[in-house]
Structure 1
Amino acid sequence: MEAAHRRVAADLAAQISAGLWVPGDQLPSRASLARHYGVHEQTVRLAMILLRSRGLVEGEQRNRLRVAHPPVMRTLIRPDADWPHQTETADSSPCRATDELADRLGVQPGITLQHEVIECMDPGGRSAMLVSSWWRGRRKAHSSYVAELGVIALDADQAHALGLIVDTPAYRLVRTRLDTVGRATETADLILPMDRWTIRL
């Protein structure tokens, strides 16, 4: 027998697919859906987690969720290019260099670094990428960069910003900018949701 939350999720997914709700529409409350389907609110919560994992709904789990806009697939070819759309600065507080950051920048662990987190929006105003950058002192010009691609599981802050659930896999592109003699001037983590990006390097 099919689990109740999967039955609820399947019915809601069918209604979204049929156009009963369109992207951006707010879904009924958890309590209202529980009454409609004759199930416990916890069952509805599990159904919503399933729908979020499939990219059908978005928003904070504690609030009313909305029908998600279909992700726009983009291709990242130039990790050093300026973002062509709107950006928002989410954090700009200095921090101490971890061992990893110290190694990436060629500095001593524990020294103070400048730090910035930028949320890059797509043309529709939805979050498409997070860029966390670290550098020492004043930002300097660079002449080249190196990039290394890996995969991470989103932490709570990253998932919140990108409208995804915690532990969703995402690309992590480590970009380090270099001066004319190959010294690191800045390093950054570019976090790109896998359902919205392909990488071509």
Structure 2
Amino acid sequence: MEAAHRRVARDLADQIAAGLWAPGDQLPSRASLARHYGVHEQTVRLAMALLRSRGLIEGEQRNRLYVAHPPVMRTLIAPDRDWPHQTEQIAGGTWKAGEQLAARLDVPLGTTLHHEALECLDPGGRSALIACTWWRGKRRPHASYAAEIEVMQLDEPQAHALGLTVDTLAYRVMRTRLDAAGQPTETADLILPMDRWTIRL
């Protein structure tokens, strides 16, 4: 059975998608919505938190909320460029190289790697992409890079970090930095939601 706050959030999201409220419109008060749906105000608060995490509404939690403007579409043209805005580390530590990472970094299977996952924020403080990086030993400068692109579905941690639903489609850019001799120095997965990005290489 669907939780009450998820039912309220789904109905409000459907109404926003149908154009009942336009970007910038103020939503009814929580008390009004609670009466309309026949639920407790705390249920409405949970529904609003869910809608905020998905980027559908904006505003301070204790004040009135507004329908969010659609996220800005960005174009990725340089996968090797460092993110120019604020980042927040969401994971870090060591990682054992599985088959794919071992091949990408040209290291033996099971090699201990350093790992870092960053949530990259746009100038407005919204999640724009996730960058997961792995490297062996000390980080070294690189001379070039190679990149491959595929389409994937977000898993639960990725979706949570980006404020989206599980199984949302995203681009996965697998970028490997190389030294002057062509040897890998580090590899990264750049996770870019398809509703926020186009790619032009």
Q: Answer yes or no: same fold by TM over 0.5.
A: yes
Calculate the TM-score normalised by the size of structure 2.
0.77
The alignment's C-alpha RMSD in Å is: 3.6
For residues 13 and 76 of structure 2, what CA distance do their matches in structure 1 show? 33
Q: Distance in 1 between matches of 2:138 and 2:177?
A: 14
Shift of 1:75: 0.7
Question: Alignment partner of 1:93: what SS?
Answer: strand
In structure 1, what is the equivalent of residue 148 of structure 2? 148
TM-score by length of 1: 0.77
- 2:191 corresponds to: 191
The answer to whether residue 97 in structure 2 is matched with residue 97 in structure 1 is yes
Deviation string 1:88-122 (CA, Å, 9 cap, x unpaired) is 11122111111110011111111110000111110
Give percent identity, aligned residues only. Answer: 63
User: 1:1-201 counterparts in 2 under 5 A?
Assistant: 9-11=13-15, 14-17=19-22, 19-21=24-26, 33=33, 35-37=35-37, 56-57=56-57, 67-201=67-201
Contact (CA 8 Å) 1:130, 1:190: kept in 2 or not? yes
Give the Cα separation in 2 of the matches to 1:190 and 1:34.
40
**1:177–1:184 CA contact under 8 A, matched in 2:** yes
Q: 1:34 to 1:199 in 2, by over 3 A?
A: same
1:198 match: secondary structure? strand
1:56 to partner: Cα distance: 2.9
- Give me the whole-angstrom Cα distance separating, in 1, the residues matched to 2:23 and 2:143: 52
Q: Deviations over 1:131-159 (max 9, x none)?
A: 00000000111110000011111111111
Check 1:66–1:132 CA distance in 2 against 1; reply closer, same or farther (3 A cut): farther
Amino acid at match of 2:80: D
Q: How far is 1:21 from its partner? A: 1.7
Write out per-residue CA displacement over residues 17-48 of structure 1, whole angstroms, 9 at most, x where no aligned residue: 174427xxxx755x963630458xxxx9xx98
- Structure 1, unmatched stretches of 5+, are 59-64
Q: In the alignment, which residue of structure 2 is the partner of 1:62?
A: none
Provide the C-alpha distance between the structure 1 equivalents of 2:147 and 2:23, rounded to a whole number of angstroms: 42
Equivalent residues, number: 187
Residues 188, 19 of structure 1: alpha-carbon distance in 2 compared, 3 angstrom cutoff: closer
Residues 11 and 186 of structure 1: CA distance in aligned 2, closer, same or farther (over 3 Å)? closer
> 3-state SS of the aligned residue for 2:21?
helix
Deviation, structure 1 residue 84: 1.0
What amino acid does structure 1 have at the position aligned with 2:128?
A: A
